[in-house]
Amino acid sequence: SAFEPHQRDVVRSVTTALDDALLPEREERVIMAGTAHLARSGLDVPVQLHDVLEALEQHVILLKLLGTAGESSDALAVRIGHENPFTELQSTSMVTTGYGPGSELVAGLGVVGPTRMDYPSTMAAVRAVATYVSRILAD
pLDDT at 119: 94
Mean pLDDT of 12-33: 63
Residue 104 DSSP one-character state? -
pLDDT at 80: 93
Q: Is the pLDDT of residue 16 over 70?
A: no
> Is residue 28 helix, strand or coil?
coil
Tell me yes or no: is domain 5-138 CATH 3.30.200.20.
no
For all residues of the chain together, what is the average pLDDT? 77
pLDDT at residue number 45: 46
* Confidence band for 84, pLDDT divided at 50, 70 and 90: confident
Is 0.75 topped by the overall pTM?
A: no
Secondary structure class of 43 (helix, strand, coil): coil
**Beta strands, E only, the chain:** 76-80, 92-99, 107-114
Query: pLDDT for 54-82, tens place per residue?
Result: 887 777 777 777 766 555 556 888 999 99
Domain ranges (residues) in the chain: 5-138
3-state class (DSSP) for residue 27 = coil
